[in-house]
Chains A and B, each alone.
Chain A
Amino acid sequence: MTASSLKVGARVTLAAGDFQHLLDALAGRGYRVMSPTLEDGRLIYGEIGKVTDLPIGWTAFQEGGTFRLEHRQDQAFFGFAVGQQSWKQFLLPPHQTLWQAQREGSGWGIIPQVQEIPQFAFLGVRSCELEAMAVQDRVFLQGAHVESTYRARRESAFIVALNCAHQDPGTCFCVSMGTGPRATAGFDLALTELLQGEEHGFVVEIGTDRGAEVIRQVPRRAATSGEVDAAARAVAAVAGNMGRRLDTTGIQELFYDNYEHPRWDEVAARCLNCGNCTLVCPTCFCHTLEDSMDLPGAVAERRRRLDSCFTVDFSYLHGGSIRTSPRSRYRQWLTHKLATWIDQFGCSGCVGCGRCITWCPVGIDITEEVRAIRETAAGPPKE
């Protein structure tokens, strides 16, 4: 295969046995390769160096409030859906010092924190997660004010997407949200894992020139039409077997017309207000700023920390909070995610990854909540 045929849009096949070369090529370009990996029995995103660091032969059973790692019959590298972490932790760190202020005589001098921008290569980014990044881009990059840390990290990241195939789509509903399971944009390379008897490999779609340069350093051959078809079939099988469905027809009106629906009380009685859903959600971006002073009163510091709209403090205004009831906080989260987000950013805040369902300790299922409201919905309020 000639180097000139490695153009954007081209597809090549990478044998599973040669996967290490891809990791080496990324590392050789200075990237820290972050990938799904197992640590203390948890499926997380961590730095990997070797193919054996991948969760080979594992899958994850996911249901409302349930996540269980199980062995697969095969040696799939990516035979699971998403875990509790999302890539957002690498793009906007959940804890970050923004600046310090030092007392200078009677005044203060402010010293912005020098930011180390790590060069990440994200490996195994699902289509829903690419869409989640695009959602956060609208929040942090496309408004009047740009978040500089996010921009630097986002621009430098190399993205190896992974089309979903050969997995249990337990709590997934990307098809309903129009966000998957095939990655269509926003990647340097996109992999589809092929598992056909003894043959184990990856169809690799080249998304950018940067991606082509990496592939040039990796043993590969042109993908056969059979391999491309097999990859498409595997992804289509996942698409046809979604674990959940969410009807988004008229979803803004549905929420705005049912702001006092009794279902909000019903779900609030189950919701623990723990905020897990906001932590695992790949689009939840709310954060707070914290200030402190050292003991001598000479150095003040401002830090940013990921926050959750499920805390009472989140809406605190002198004298009390706006959202005092658990019902109002759950309603705020879900209404924002599925309805007001569209007003604010022109897209849904939900990408259908299913994390909020899996990681809810009491198994609240947002697809079920929307269905329940829809089935007993009130019409538009009378003027």
Chain B
Amino acid sequence: MTANLPDPMIPTPFVVQKVKRETSDTYTLDLTRAEGAANFAFAPGQFNMLYAFGAGEAPISISGDPARPETLVHTVRDVGNVTRAICRLKRGGVLGVRGPFGVPWPVDRVAGQDVLIIAGGLGLAPLRPALYHLLNHRGEFGNIEVIYGARTPKDLLYLRELERWRGRFDLRVHVTVDQAEGDWHSNVGVVTKIIGRTRFDPPSTVALICGPGVMMRFTVLELLNRGLKPEQVYVSMERNMKCGIGLCGHCQWGPFFVCKDGPVFRYDRIKAWFDRREV
């Protein structure tokens, strides 16, 4: 009976164990439950409503390893009152968590396929759990390609980890930036330019994309041009969310509630709405 379930509107207090500054305005927080030692199980691509006491709530995707559910990991960019309050928390600070919510990446349904992970900016945060999953079960998948674009080298998230991933022989990582100084010796340009350099077998490939709207739009176009079908492409959408459980109406996007029908959508199901403005 639903009556016996905990009310999904009541946050659970979590304690900050570690704060890592990723960029000038983006922080990664490691969290554990304030009471009890229960794991926080989630699927890659899901999100939580993070609550800064008194300030409010924001939907933030989970960025940790699903195989290590004892620690809840979130990467948060300071872009407003709530996210600022979250980013200012120190070790020992407490915040509220509701979740996990939303439809995850289809990583458990694409065994045997090549996987393209294409991220722009903060879009790498919700994709990192998917990559962890792929690497945890590396033998189950074909070629894995990661394309990650950021504005400048200073805006790159998870830098050490990116370097470690680049050192692996079972994974190809491409990093590109929009602008760079002379000390940058890698790609400059948009992620779509990198797609041509990746290796994948179009009939047996799935692409997972998260980033700014424009980046996702052109990435989808490029993938379709290179032989992927709309049903092989997944995107993660973002909208204003208040409740996270499909009741408040804020995250509506055409016929969808991004919080419960998404945030991860298969492209063929949303393509009629994807290019429309002000939906």
Contacts and interface: CB of A to CB of B under 8 A. Distances in A.
A324 B255 CA distance: 19
Contacts of A289: 56-57, 242-243, 248
A108 B248 CA distance: 25
Contacts of A38: none
A24 interface: no
B278 A323 contact: yes
Contacts of A293: 53-55
Contact of B252 (A256, A297, A318, A336): A336
Given A287-B242, A289-B243, A340-B254, A145 B8 contact: yes
Nearest to A98: B9
B37 interface: no
A317 interface: yes
B104 interface: no
A151 to B, nearest CB: 8
B128 to A, nearest CB: 20
B249 A287 contact: yes
Q: Most B CB atoms within 10 A — which of A110, A319, A336?
A: A110
A140 interface: yes
A302 B248 CA distance: 14
Interface residues of A, number: 52
Nearest to A284: B249
Secondary structure of the A contact surface, majority rule:
mixed
B56 A291 contact: yes
Given A140-B247, A316-B240, A106 B94 contact: yes
B88 to A, nearest CB: 14
A328 interface: yes
Given A315-B239, A315-B240, A145 B248 contact: no
A309 B249 CA distance: 9
A322 B249 CA distance: 14
Contacts of B80: 318
Interface in A284-317: 285-293, 297, 300, 302, 307, 309, 314-317
B92 to A, nearest CB: 6
Nearest to A335: B254
B24 to A, nearest CB: 15
Contact of B96 (A106, A110, A146, A259): A110
A256 B34 CA distance: 48
Nearest to A299: B54
Contacts of A110: 10-11, 13, 96
Given A110-B10, A112-B10, A332-B252, A145 B57 contact: no
Contact of B238 (A98, A292, A317): A317
A139 interface: yes
A101 interface: yes
B96 A108 contact: yes
Interface string B1-35: 01100011111010100000000000000000010
Contacts of B240: 314-317, 322
A143 B246 contact: yes
B187 to A, nearest CB: 26
A315 B250 CA distance: 6
A328 B276 CA distance: 11
A108 B13 contact: yes
Contacts of A307: 248-250
A199 to B, nearest CB: 47
Interface in A126-154: 139-140, 143-148
Contact of B279 (A322, A327, A343): A322
Q: Most A CB atoms within 10 A — which of B15, B246, B276, B278?
A: B278
Interface string A191-218: 0000000000000000000000000000
Contacts of B252: 309, 332, 336, 340
A240 interface: no
B250 A286 contact: yes
A285 B242 CA distance: 13
Nearest to B83: A318
B246 to A, nearest CB: 6
B255 A344 contact: yes
Interface in A325-357: 325, 327-328, 331-332, 335-336, 340, 343-344
Contacts of B56: 289-291
A286 B249 contact: yes
B239 A317 contact: yes
A286 B83 CA distance: 23
B54 A314 contact: no
A368 B82 CA distance: 42
Contacts of B214: none
Contacts of B260: 143-144
A380 to B, nearest CB: 10
Given A106-B92, A109-B13, A331-B278, 20 more contacts: A99-B9, A101-B53, A110-B13, A143-B245, A143-B247, A145-B2, A145-B8, A147-B247, A287-B242, A290-B56, A291-B56, A293-B54, A297-B54, A307-B250, A315-B239, A315-B250, A318-B77, A319-B79, A327-B278, A328-B279
6 contacts: A110-B13, A144-B245, A259-B276, A286-B250, A287-B247, A324-B278
Which 9 residue pairs are nearest across A and B when measured between Cβ atoms? A293-B54, A286-B249, A343-B255, A328-B278, A318-B79, A145-B245, A300-B54, A291-B56, A340-B255
